[in-house]
Chains A and B, each alone.
Chain A
Amino acid sequence: MSSPKKETRAPLMRISKRAQISTPKAWGIRACALLLSLLVSGLVIYAIVKLNPIKIYVSMFEGAFGTTRRSWSTIRDAMMLLCIGIGLAPAFKMRFWNIGAEGQIQVGGIVTAACMIYFGNSLPPLALFIVMLAASVAAGAVWGLFPAFFKARWGTNETLFTLMMNYVAIQLTSFCVSIWENPAGSGNIGVINQNTQAGWFPPVFGQAYGLNVIIVLTLAVAMYVYMRYTKQGYEIAVVGSSENTARYAGISVKKVYLRTMAISGAICGVAGFVAVSGASHTISVSTAGGQGFTAIIVAWLAKFNTFTMIIIAFLLVFLEKGAVEIASAYNLNDYASSIITGIILFFILGSEFFINYRLIFRRREKKEVSAA
C-alpha cells in the first residue's frame, strides 16, 4: 500500500513572495537587468549594422554630451520629461492611472501660445510670464479634473478616459494651429514672436534653458516635499494604498481624487508651458510628442521619487540623443532609440519580479515535516 505522501512531488519550481529584500540587493538586481539589456541591445545593434557595440555606445555618449550645445539640448529634454514625471507622480501614487499627460501638456501649450500671440505685445514681460504660467496651470488642471470628476462620482475608468482626452487635446491643437497658422497655408504656425521674443524664457546665467532647469528642479523639490512631508501628500498615499483605510481615517476619497488630479494636470500643463515658452516657441500637435507616455515609465520606475526620476529621465533622453547621433553617423534612422529604450525598459520591468518574488527550486532531499 502506498502512502499518499510518497506519490506527491513538489513542483520543479515555485514562486513565493519575498518578505524582505535589502536595498543594495534590490539595486543590484536592477543593475544586472540594465547591464543585460545593454548587452541585448548591443547584440541587436550588431545584428543590424555589424559594428562594435562599444563603439556605438561611445558615439551615443558623444551625441548626448559631446558638445556644450548637445549637453544643453539633452538637459532641456530631460527637464521636460522630468517635469511630466513630477506631474504624474502624485496621481500614480494615488493609483490613478493618468495616461492623459499628453493632452494636459498640449492644452498647457495651447494657452501659453495663445498668451504669447494675443498678449505678446501688450503686456510687460513679467506680467506676461505670470499670465502664461497661470493659464497653463489652469488649463492642465481642468484637463485633469474631467476624468477625476467622473472617476470620483461614478467610478469611470480613468485609464481609458485620460487616453481619449489626449486626442481631444490634439485635435484642439490642430484647430488652434489652423487659426493661428503663419504663413497662411503652411499648416503650422512657425516660431511665435520671432522678432520681439515676447513670452520667451529669458536666458539665465547666459543659458537659454537655464530657466527650464530652475522651474523643473524647483517643482521636483516641491513635489518631493509635498508627497513626503505634507498632510495632503500623506492622504494621497493612504488613498493609493487602500480606500477602506482612508475611510477609516476619515479621509474623503473623492476630494483627494479631485485635488490630486488638479495638481497632476496642472504640472503637466506647466510642462506644456515650458515646452512652448522655454523650448520650441511654437505649438504643434507633436509638442507633447509621446513624452506623456514615456514619463509614466519614468515615474513608475522611480517609484514616484522625484529625485530618482532625474536619473531615469536623463537615462532615457541620453538613449534617444545617442541613437540620433548613431543614426546620422552610421546612416541609420533615429528610431533605433525607441528600440533600445524598449529593450532596456523591458528588462527593468522584468527585474522587478526578482525583487518582489523568490523562485524556489525543488530540493533533492525531501525534508520531513513533523507535526509538532
Chain B
Amino acid sequence: MTQLIQLIQEALAFGTVILFGAIGELLTEKSGNLNLGTPGIMYLGGIAGLVGAFFYEAAAGAAASPVMGVLISLVCAFVVAGLGGLIYSFLTISLRANQNVTGLTLTIFGSGVANFLGGSLNKLAGGVGQISIAVTSSGYRAATGLENLGFVGNILFSYGFLVYLAIVIAIVASFFLNRTRAGLNLRSVGENPGTADAAGISVAKNKYLATCIGAGVSGLGGLFYVMDYTKGTWANDGGIERLGWLAVALVIFATWKPVKAIWGSYLFGVLFWMYLYIPGLTRSSQELFKMLPYVVTIIVLIVVSIRKKRENNPPESLGLAYFREER
C-alpha cells in the first residue's frame, strides 16, 4: 500500500513537469507552430525561477517570505520562458525560418543558458547542491493541509500548489480552445490560416500570442522541476531536456486535447516509475522498462495515423509558415 501511494505520488510529480510542458506546447501547436524548442524553454523557465528565488532570498535574508519567493520565481519563470517563445516566434513567424531547425536551436540555446547560469549559481553558492532557496522551495512544496486524510489525503492532497495549478491550466486551456471565440480563432489559424485570414483573423497575432504564452506555461514545467522535483537544486544532468521531449510526446499522446493530457501525463509518470515497484526486475530489465513511455507514444502515433480520425490529427498547417501571397 505504501508502495502504491509512493508510486502515485512520484507519478504525479513527474506528470506535473511534463503536463506544464505539454499544455504550453499544445497551445503553441494549435496555432500551427511545432516548437521543438520546448525542452530549451523549460530549461529557461527553470533557471529563471531558480535565479529569481536565489537573489530574492540573498537580498531579503531572514526577512524572506515564502509567498514573495514563490511570486518572484513564478513571474521570472513565466516571463523568461515567454521570451524564449518570442525568439522562436520572431524567427518562424516574422522571418519564416524553418520551425524544426529553429526549435532545435532554441533547445540548444535554452539548455546552454540554463546550465551556464545553473553552474555559475552552484559555484556562487559553494558547490553542487548548495544552492539554498529553502524559503521559496518550502513555499512551493507546502502541502494543502489535507494530506493527513489517510490514503485519499496522501494521494490527492499531499502536493505543492503547482500540481493543482497544472490541472487548472489544462482545464482552462481546454475551455479556452473549445468554448471561446478567441480559442476558435486560434484553432482556425492552426488548421487553415488562409481561411482565418479571409475571416479577418490576424494570423501573426494569434501565432505570436499562442507561442509566447504557451512557452510561458511550458516554462512553469521547468520551474516545478527545479523547485519541487529536485527540491531547489541545480544539476547539469540533462533531466529537463529528457522531460521536455516527453512533454512534446505527450501532446501527441493526448491527440492535441488538454484534458487528455492530464491523465496522459500521470500515466507517463506511472510508466516511468513503475520499474521501481515491479518485483523481481534486475537492473538491466529495469532499463528496458523505462522505454515504456516512448514505446507507448510511438504506438499511439501509429494508431492515430492508421485510424485517420480527423479529430485526432495534428492541426492541419502544423509546421508550415504562412505567407498570404502564396495562397
Name the one of A15, A155, A172, A335 contacting B116, with C-beta atoms under 8 angstroms. A335
What are the interface flags for B288-306 relative to A under an 8 Å C-beta threshold, 1 for contact and 0 otherwise? Answer: 1011001101100110011
Q: Report whether B109 and A338 are in contact in the complex, using a CB–CB cutoff of 8 Å.
A: yes
Q: Report whether B98 and A341 are in contact in the complex, using a CB–CB cutoff of 8 Å.
A: no
Name the one of A150, A171, A339, A346 contacting B290, with C-beta atoms under 8 angstroms. A171
Q: Report whether B105 and A175 are in contact in the complex, using a CB–CB cutoff of 8 Å.
A: no
The 10 closest A-B pairs by CB, nearest first: A338-B112, A342-B109, A333-B119, A353-B95, A174-B287, A156-B305, A335-B115, A335-B116, A178-B284, A175-B287
CB distance from B114 to the nearest CB of A (A): 8
| A171 partner residues in chain B, CB cutoff 8 A | 287-288, 290-291, 294
Given the complex of chains A and B, what is the CA–CA distance between A38 and B283 in angstroms?
Answer: 47
Q: Report whether A154 and B305 are in contact in the complex, using a CB–CB cutoff of 8 Å.
A: yes
Q: Report whether B287 and A346 are in contact in the complex, using a CB–CB cutoff of 8 Å.
A: no
Q: Which of B81-122 contact A (CB under 8 A)?
A: 87, 90-91, 94-98, 100-102, 104-113, 115-116, 119-120
| B306 partner residues in chain A, CB cutoff 8 A | 154
Q: Report whether B301 and A346 are in contact in the complex, using a CB–CB cutoff of 8 Å.
A: no
Q: Report whether B301 and A164 are in contact in the complex, using a CB–CB cutoff of 8 Å.
A: yes
Among the interface residues B116, B236, B252, B308, which one has the most CB atoms of the partner chain A within 10 A?
B116
Q: Report whether B109 and A167 are in contact in the complex, using a CB–CB cutoff of 8 Å.
A: no
CB distance from A10 to the nearest CB of B (A): 14
Q: Flag whether B248 is at the interface (Cβ < 8 A).
A: yes
Given the complex of chains A and B, what is the CA–CA distance between A167 and B271 in angstroms?
Answer: 14
Q: Report whether B116 and A346 are in contact in the complex, using a CB–CB cutoff of 8 Å.
A: no
A-B contact pairs, 26 of them (CB 8 A): A17-B323, A17-B326, A154-B305, A157-B305, A160-B252, A160-B301, A163-B248, A163-B249, A164-B295, A165-B294, A171-B288, A171-B290, A171-B294, A296-B100, A296-B101, A296-B104, A297-B101, A332-B116, A332-B119, A335-B112, A336-B116, A338-B113, A341-B108, A341-B109, A346-B91, A350-B90
CB distance from B78 to the nearest CB of A (A): 21
Given the complex of chains A and B, what is the CA–CA distance between A228 and B104 in angstroms?
Answer: 28
| A17 partner residues in chain B, CB cutoff 8 A | 323, 325-326
Interface residue SS majority, chain B = helix
Q: Flag whether B7 is at the interface (Cβ < 8 A).
A: no
Q: Flag whether A221 is at the interface (Cβ < 8 A).
A: no
Q: Report whether B249 and A99 are in contact in the complex, using a CB–CB cutoff of 8 Å.
A: no
Name the one of B97, B116, B119 contacting A349, with C-beta atoms under 8 angstroms. B97
Q: Report whether A335 and B111 are in contact in the complex, using a CB–CB cutoff of 8 Å.
A: yes
Q: Flag whether B216 is at the interface (Cβ < 8 A).
A: no
Q: Report whether B111 and A160 are in contact in the complex, using a CB–CB cutoff of 8 Å.
A: no
With A175-B284, A345-B108, A349-B97 already in contact, 7 other A-B pairs whose C-beta atoms are closer than 8 Å: A160-B252, A175-B285, A332-B116, A338-B109, A350-B91, A353-B97, A356-B96
CB distance from A89 to the nearest CB of B (A): 14
Given A160-B301, A161-B301, A333-B119, verify A341-B100 contact (CB < 8 Å). Answer: no
Given the complex of chains A and B, what is the CA–CA distance between A99 and B36 in angstroms?
Answer: 10
CB distance from B100 to the nearest CB of A (A): 6
| A179 partner residues in chain B, CB cutoff 8 A | 284
CB distance from A66 to the nearest CB of B (A): 23
| A164 partner residues in chain B, CB cutoff 8 A | 249, 294-295, 297-298, 301
Q: Flag whether B12 is at the interface (Cβ < 8 A).
A: no
Q: Report whether B298 and A165 are in contact in the complex, using a CB–CB cutoff of 8 Å.
A: yes
**What residues of chain A have their CB less than 8 Å away from a CB belonging to chain B?**
15-17, 97, 99, 150, 154-157, 159-161, 163-168, 171-172, 174-175, 177-179, 290, 293-294, 296-297, 300, 332-333, 335-343, 345-346, 349-350, 352-353, 356-357
Q: Flag whether B229 is at the interface (Cβ < 8 A).
A: no
Closest to B106 in A: A342
Q: Report whether A300 and B98 are in contact in the complex, using a CB–CB cutoff of 8 Å.
A: yes
Closest to A17 in B: B325
What are the interface flags for B272-291 relative to A under an 8 Å C-beta threshold, 1 for contact and 0 otherwise? Answer: 00000000001111011011
CB distance from A216 to the nearest CB of B (A): 22
| A163 partner residues in chain B, CB cutoff 8 A | 245, 248-249
Name the one of A168, A290, A341 contacting B291, with C-beta atoms under 8 angstroms. A168
Closest to A289 in B: B238
Given the complex of chains A and B, what is the CA–CA distance between A165 and B252 in angstroms?
Answer: 14
Given the complex of chains A and B, what is the CA–CA distance between A293 and B111 in angstroms?
Answer: 13
Q: Flag whether B314 is at the interface (Cβ < 8 A).
A: yes
| B282 partner residues in chain A, CB cutoff 8 A | 178
| B248 partner residues in chain A, CB cutoff 8 A | 160, 163
| A296 partner residues in chain B, CB cutoff 8 A | 100-101, 104
Given the complex of chains A and B, what is the CA–CA distance between A289 and B90 in angstroms?
Answer: 28
Given the complex of chains A and B, what is the CA–CA distance between A53 and B326 in angstroms?
Answer: 43
Q: Report whether A352 and B325 are in contact in the complex, using a CB–CB cutoff of 8 Å.
A: no
Q: Report whether A345 and B105 are in contact in the complex, using a CB–CB cutoff of 8 Å.
A: yes
| A293 partner residues in chain B, CB cutoff 8 A | 104, 107-108
| B301 partner residues in chain A, CB cutoff 8 A | 156-157, 160-161, 164
Q: Flag whether B254 is at the interface (Cβ < 8 A).
A: no
CB distance from A300 to the nearest CB of B (A): 5
CB distance from A334 to the nearest CB of B (A): 9
Given the complex of chains A and B, what is the CA–CA distance between A187 and B297 in angstroms?
Answer: 28
Given A16-B325, A178-B283, A353-B95, verify A157-B108 contact (CB < 8 Å). Answer: no
Q: Report whether A167 and B112 are in contact in the complex, using a CB–CB cutoff of 8 Å.
A: no
CB distance from A317 to the nearest CB of B (A): 14
Q: Report whether A338 and B120 are in contact in the complex, using a CB–CB cutoff of 8 Å.
A: no
| B314 partner residues in chain A, CB cutoff 8 A | 157
Given the complex of chains A and B, what is the CA–CA distance between A16 and B96 in angstroms?
Answer: 12
Q: Flag whether B34 is at the interface (Cβ < 8 A).
A: yes
Closest to A44 in B: B113
Given A335-B111, A335-B115, A341-B108, verify A168-B295 contact (CB < 8 Å). Answer: yes
Given the complex of chains A and B, what is the CA–CA distance between A166 and B97 in angstroms?
Answer: 25
Q: Report whether A333 and B116 are in contact in the complex, using a CB–CB cutoff of 8 Å.
A: yes
Q: Report whether A332 and B120 are in contact in the complex, using a CB–CB cutoff of 8 Å.
A: yes
| A168 partner residues in chain B, CB cutoff 8 A | 291, 294-295, 298
CB distance from A225 to the nearest CB of B (A): 26
